[in-house]
Amino acid sequence: MSPSVSDELPHLVKLATSKGVQAKPIPARDVVVSNWVRFKCRFGCKGYAKHLSCPPYAPTPAETRAMVSEYETGLLLRFDGVPGHPSFGPDDIPEDFHHFYKDLILWVSSTVHLIEKTAFYDGFYKSFGFGGYPCIFCEECVAEQCEGIVDESTRRKCRHMDLVRPSMEASGIDVFATAKKVGWELSTIPCRDMEYGRVIHSDIVSIGLVLIE
């Protein structure tokens, strides 16, 4: 007898809790995919084209929208705080802040991968996860090292192809609107003098998603 999603979800929620993560089921139809989200990556993010989890390597909103429509259920994951930096202000953040958040990004990415993998081996072979932030499994992504035309062929050189998943925002998922569907009200974090990356406080909430079918 095939396992049911309703039986699997409590197991996955418990697994997420063991990693210090909140988890809530969400109907796949409530995952909000919007075209404007991708523009935030293309215009305004220093990580554009530098990581294989980000645009232009990540799925387009149209691809994401079509893919999500093939699922009934998802598990939304909430990560509170920044491991290794329980309290900090703008003066503590280096100019190249990507590695400042390394433990946070690894927490999100590894948990998403664990939940996806667990569901897969429990019989839910369509399970697929979306993380957050630019990938940081490597000190420098091969995408940033490659010169010339940016295209999909670069993905062949990924050192952690089994682990890398696209981030929600990179794929066109409106994280704020999607989180609100399960009662999580997110807000933007102000930066000092609106300076890019110099966030005022360490009360950071991160979101991941695993689709289960």
Judged against a pLDDT cut of 70, whether residue 2 lies above it is answered with: no
pLDDT of residue 124: 96
Q: CB–CB of 131/165 below 8 Å?
A: yes
Is residue 186 classed exposed, middle or buried when 0-12, 13-18 and 19+ CB atoms within 10 A define those classes? middle
The 10s digit of each residue's pLDDT in 44-60 is 888 888 999 999 999 99
pLDDT of residue 46: 87
The 10s digit of each residue's pLDDT in 126-138 is 999 999 999 999 9
Give the three-state DSSP class for 206. Answer: strand
pLDDT of residue 156: 83
Please state, in angstroms and as integers, the Cα–Cα distance from residue 181 to each residue in 28, 30, 79, 204, following that order. Answer: 11, 7, 17, 19
- pTM, rounded to two decimals: 0.94
Q: Where are the alpha helices (DSSP H) in 19-101?
A: 35-42, 61-68
pLDDT of residue 1: 58
Number of Cβ atoms within 10 Å of the Cβ of 171: 27
Mean pLDDT confidence for 183-197: 93
